[in-house]
Amino acid sequence: AQTVTQSQPEMSVQEAETVTLSCTYDTSESDYYLFWYKQPPSRQMILVIRQEAYKQQNATENRFSVNFQKAAKSFSLKISDSQLGDAAMYFCAYSWAGGTSYGKLTFGQGTILTVHP
Amino acid sequence: ETGVTQSPTHLIKTRGQQVTLRCSSQSGHNTVSWYQQALGQGPQFIFQYYREEENGRGNFPPRFSGLQFPNYSSELNVNALELDDSALYLCASSLGTIQGALYGYTFGSGTRLTVV
């Protein structure tokens, strides 16, 4: 079974600084997809960035980028120039399109990010 | 605008009762998944429906059931409520199972269920 682990329950960063959130996962599959979702107090899960495992190039979306290390099964999220609106719970998630996975998402436990002005 | 609407936003039920949670997906989204998120935890996959049929289930007992309708709405039903069922229930939709796996899902804001 696939598992996703986020070892940092809480992180904090000063506004305009950079922060990195960690995520590791376990899978026996070679072709899968990884996501970072943001959940603000409004509770809606918002997709931040996605990475395809067969692509070596790390994904970037504006101030958000990932460091994908397939061999180490590591998928960290870097937030540059942090803004107050980045404060939220961040979840790392895994999906696989094959077999009996049904395309379900497997989530980590989450990291609460606080941004200080 | 989320594109996925859930109702009600909050609900309080008594242990042993039954509850129905509702979700309205984006038009054209044939796949809907339901997740249970306990306080301070990551969401757990309950089940998924594709074109009105259940096509995947997580580690949840049969008292958790669902329905999906042709108008892109769906329901999550929970019978014989237990205290541990208290959680945020999230609905997520996508164009299809594969698309959801590849590109992620669109989530609603959830229903907060409290069982007392």
Rounded alpha-carbon distances, angstroms, from residue B80 to B59, B64, B68, B85: 17, 9, 21, 10
* pLDDT average, residue stretch A78-99: 93
Asked whether the beta carbons of B100 and A34 are under 8 A apart, the reply is no
**pLDDT given for residue A101 in this prediction:** 67
CB-closest option in A6, A50, A100 to B104: A50
Rg (CA), chain A: 14
Q: What percent of chain A has pLDDT over 70?
A: 97
pLDDT per position as a tens digit, A22-71: 999 999 988 899 999 999 988 899 999 999 998 889 999 999 999 999 99
Higher pLDDT, A102 or A69: A69
Q: Tens digit of pLDDT for each residue in B56-111?
A: 899 999 999 999 999 889 999 999 999 999 999 999 998 877 777 788 889 999 99
The answer to whether the CB atoms of A101 and B101 lie below 8 A apart is yes
Structural contact between residues B46 and A114, judged by C-beta atoms closer than 8 angstroms: no
Q: Cα separations (Å) of B41 from A14, A43, A109, B36, B61? A: 25, 13, 5, 9, 20
Q: Å from A62 to nearest chain B CA?
A: 18
Cβ-based contacts of B5 with chain A (< 8 Å): none
From the list B33, B108, B109, the residue facing A104 with the nearest CB is B33
Above 60 in pLDDT, residue A79?
yes
- SS3 state at A14: strand
Q: What is the pLDDT of residue A21?
A: 98
Reduced to 3 states (helix: H, G, I; strand: E, B; else coil), residue B30 is coil
Indicate yes or no: CB of B42 within 8 angstroms of CB of A33. no
Question: Is the model's pLDDT at B28 over the cut of 90?
Answer: no
Residues of B in contact with A35 (CB under 8 A): 104
What's the pLDDT at A17?
A: 98
Question: Cβ of B7 under 8 Å from any chain A Cβ?
Answer: no
The CA distance from A35 to the nearest CA of chain B, in Å, is 8
